Structure 1
Amino acid sequence: MEEKSKFNTRYLIRQPLALQWFDNGKLCKRSEEERQASRFELFLDLLYVAILANFAETLAEDVTGVKLVKYILILSPSWHVWSDLRELMNSFYNDDLLQRILILWVMATLVVYGNNAPLVDEDISAMRSAVGAYIVARMSATLAHLFYSFSSYHHRAQQRLWFCTSVVGLCLYIPLFVESLSLRKKIAVAAVAIIFEEVAWLFCYSPTAKRMLGARYTTAVDISHEIDRFAAFYIIALGEFLYTIVVGSPAATGFNLSLLRAVWTLIIAFCLNWMYLHNDCSVESTHPLRHSIPTAIAWAPLHLPLIASLLAGGHVAAASAKVTTSGEASAEGGGGEGEESFSDGQRWLLCASLGVGMFCLYAIALLHASKDTGCILMLPKPLRLMMRPIVGLILVLLPLAHKLNLTETLSIVMALVVFCVIWENVTSLQRGAKIWESWTDTSYPEGGNKGYWVSNANSNAPPGGQATDEFVEPGKEEPVLGNSSASA
């Protein structure tokens, strides 16, 4: 009967139920188990690796103010689609057939969007395809929220408010389908629509909306899953530093300046990942999502400029490995092929993007609430983190040093980022900390590493007993590990 009961719980399509919610301000959870990102969510992230790389490459090829605006306007909608699925899976993940089909469907629309978005300023068909794919992707996730609101009452009020505001926001994109509308006006329309969607999201899940609705049951997030998903997207951005320095063997052959720049790019990405994980360098701190509502609301949107800046800067840093050694040598001698292939616009994009990224990492770290009491660390939190904005400012202004060649510029960027990491790790050591921990218990205990095998086929074996071998530690009469059939 028990097996039959277990079998009856298996459905292709399960009832979507809220995994966590607030009941008059009291957090309730359907299960206390910590949930990590599902395999299908990670599969979705793989597609974003390619989409974001395509956007960054489009910007790096021609760094102008117009291209930068386009980069922001096409990256933000893709972030919104990813956020929709993140929120849906955070609150209602049950891994049934409908959710898997929804992920596949949204990924298919993202393939359309990712291919057409870089061409929106060149072809009206690309504009219509990209905008149409985006509307379909967001509407699919929004309709899923509406559908789930009938299945579970815990998030119902805010889900339906979100559905209404999302439909209004998507309608703002309709003028982009009109061919006669000028590109300048379309940029304004897209900017207004993106800002409206950001504000709508903040409003629908804010305490103000909860009070306005007067709802007893309101939304809550699985904080561990939320942190995990944002960290995964951050890793995707850092992947832009690493992909280009290997694919196509741009730094071959042997030891050369291109290889040096590739290694510097790797070190920069490694240190940026280190700083994100290090947060505010405290021994014990409270995450912004757990600290307060204002810090939680600020923490999530800060990831959009962080991701956008590191994607652009990472792609340019990695592209520096494609500059040939001979070209770089010519550049050092007075401007040659290598220097020409790496324009001043790309230098500004590299340094300014990484500088903005450092400012964002600084702001995110400040949102963490340190729980350290007393002066247990070498320096207080403001002094531990002060190198992030200082390094960020230096990076933003670094392109003004026109005499620096490409290798020298990237070397300085790498040195500044490494110095920031060293500063934070040294100043966050506890007072009285030592560099080297003395090794203890390195010798084998009495009797050595080997036990000995005792056969049951000896004088102690019972009459008619089966002979087996058992492992016995020296000095012990009872076996501690055996494979005897008698014990089985």
Structure 2
Amino acid sequence: MKLQDGERQAGRFELFLDLLYVAILSNFADTLTEDISGAKLVKYILILAPSWNVWSDLRELMNSFYNDDLIQRILILWVMAVLVVYGNNAPLVDEEIGAMRSAVGAYMVARVSCNLAHLLYSFASYHHRRQQRLWVALSTLALCIYIPLYFESVSIRGKITTTVVAFVAECITWVLCYSPAGKKLLRVKWSTAVDIAHEIDRFAAFYIIVLGEFLYLIVVGSHTAVGLNERLIRAVWTLTIAFCLNWLYVHADGAVETTHPLRHSVYTAFAWAFIHLPLIASLLAGGHVAALSVEEAELGDPQRWLLCGGLGAGIFFLYLFSLLHTSKDEPGTLILAKPYRLIMRPVTGIIMVLVPLARHLNTTSVLSVIMAFFVFCVIWETVGSLRPGACFYEQWVDNDYPEH
């Protein structure tokens, strides 16, 4: 293994891994929308979280030890094959014990495989050795909490509780091993340092995968054909909503000079990473229903609540996401100060959650209202992020060929 300096972007095999997640996430969202209920929503969250953990394992591994060698390529292929098993069985965990055992087994195999890779690299590199071995030991022990899920005698409520406890234990393990407290406990001379460009790139890539859920069904099946029709309007509105969500994610807090949470402190870095899971879960559910509105004539009440609740929660998490960025702008640098620039995000989120109460609105009207508020939110932030005296159109200057 060769040590390399400098920041890097995601590797092509990492992007190839993301292609599989397109199918996995779509399958999970489709399972939820087939029969929307409180129990199904809990199952959706509990099967999405483990898949996120596996993706995070590979992200962390490639962040610290990426060299695109034969072992890493085989590892990615192996984990993807195991994820195929997980993605097919996880939606059926509440129906068949065989599906439960297959999903849990696949998840444990995927994470143990990544742990073994960490253990192997701990011999090759001294920089993260203590932290890696502590991580391998504790995360492997945390996986043992899932063992009761294999037994048919354990009730479904007991399995839900077990899964929640196991997931929380895994999160605590990650924080403990890579936090300043963990480093101090281990008395490490060398410790981990995040490749910030790679981390930002990978999280953004996963966010784009989720936004793809908005777009897939608005084209597949040609439900908007032929000509101008109401379904086409809903498809365009769904596209616009996804575009605004991408805009808001990239826009962050809109400051001219801002410090990314990964660069500000370890606490904002952890918060920034953790907030992506509920953000993704919310937008994935809401986006799937928005796209489904193109296929179906009218959405039922459960689907409307999932649509508006998912998008409302999603933009609220985007608000928290933007607050984690630290603005360095002097007062008066932009038209609106940060609190006023971002205020439309929580306002829009609250309105989204309340939209289903307007029962007289049909599906097209509901999507029109949602789209209008998202567009207004984008315009509000964009205009508020301009410098005082900015013009709608500015003349081009220095666009002639040089004299010499």
| TM-score where L is the length of structure 1 | 0.81
| Cα shift at 1:444 | 7.3
Task: Tell me the equivalent position of 1:378.
Answer: 335
Task: Tell me the equivalent position of 2:105.
Answer: 132
- Contact 2:214–2:291 (CA<8 Å) still a contact in 1? yes
Q: Does 1:306 align with 2:279?
A: yes
Other structure's SS at 2:191 match? strand
Please tell me whether Structure 1 or Structure 2 has the larger radius of gyration of its CA atoms.
Answer: 1
Q: Does 1:420 align with 2:377?
A: yes
Match of 2:5 among 19, 31, 34: 31
Match of 1:438 among 390, 395, 403: 395
Distance in 1 (CA, whole Å) between partners of 2:162 and 2:204 is: 31
Q: Does 1:246 align with 2:236?
A: no
One-letter amino acid of the structure 2 residue matched with residue 259 of structure 1? L
Distance in 2 (CA, whole Å) between partners of 1:300 and 1:444 is: 47
Distance in 2 (CA, whole Å) between partners of 1:257 and 1:35 is: 45
Task: Tell me the equivalent position of 2:312.
Answer: 355
Q: 1:123 to 1:369 in 2, by over 3 A?
A: same
Q: 1:441 to 1:294 in 2, by over 3 A?
A: closer
| Cα shift at 1:98 | 0.5
- Comparing 422-431 and 183-192, the one that deviates more: 183-192
Q: Does 1:317 align with 2:290?
A: yes
- Count of equivalent residues: 404
Match of 2:170 among 197, 200, 208: 197
Match of 1:163 among 126, 136, 161: 136
Q: Does 1:406 align with 2:380?
A: no
Distance in 2 (CA, whole Å) between partners of 1:382 and 1:97 is: 49
Distance in 1 (CA, whole Å) between partners of 2:124 and 2:395 is: 59
Superposition pairs of residues 31-430 of structure 1, within 5 angstroms: 31-32=5-6, 34-323=7-296, 338-339=297-298, 342-430=299-387
One-letter amino acid of the structure 1 residue matched with residue 91 of structure 2? P
| Cα shift at 1:439 | 3.3
| Cα shift at 1:52 | 0.3
Distance in 1 (CA, whole Å) between partners of 2:172 and 2:98 is: 29
Distance in 1 (CA, whole Å) between partners of 2:43 and 2:397 is: 59
The two structures, once aligned, show a CA RMSD in angstroms of 1.3
Higher relative helix content: 2
Q: 1:321 to 1:174 in 2, by over 3 A?
A: same
One-letter amino acid of the structure 1 residue matched with residue 272 of structure 2? W
Provide Cα deviations, 1:200-227, integer angstroms capped at 9, x if missing partner: 1111111110011111111111000000
| Cα shift at 1:441 | 5.6
One-letter amino acid of the structure 2 residue matched with residue 392 of structure 1? G
Provide Cα deviations, 1:362-394, integer angstroms capped at 9, x if missing partner: 011001011112311001000000000010011
| Cα shift at 1:45 | 0.2
| Cα shift at 1:156 | 0.5
Q: Which runs of 4+ in 1 moved over 3 A?
A: 439-446
| Cα shift at 1:442 | 6.3
| TM-score where L is the length of structure 2 | 0.98
Higher relative strand content: 1
One-letter amino acid of the structure 2 residue matched with residue 31 of structure 1? D
| Cα shift at 1:423 | 0.2
| Cα shift at 1:263 | 0.3
Distance in 2 (CA, whole Å) between partners of 1:109 and 1:443 is: 58
Task: Tell me the equivalent position of 1:450.
Answer: none
Other structure's SS at 1:159 match? helix
Distance in 2 (CA, whole Å) between partners of 1:203 and 1:249 is: 50
| Cα shift at 1:357 | 0.6
- Structure 2 residue ranges without an equivalent (≥5): none
Provide Cα deviations, 1:296-327, integer angstroms capped at 9, x if missing partner: 1100000000111111011000000002xxxx
One-letter amino acid of the structure 2 residue matched with residue 56 of structure 1? A
Percent identity, aligned pairs only, is 68
- Contact 2:331–2:337 (CA<8 Å) still a contact in 1? no
Distance in 1 (CA, whole Å) between partners of 2:399 and 2:321 is: 42
One-letter amino acid of the structure 2 residue matched with residue 175 of structure 1? P
Distance in 1 (CA, whole Å) between partners of 2:148 and 2:402 is: 78
| Cα shift at 1:90 | 0.3
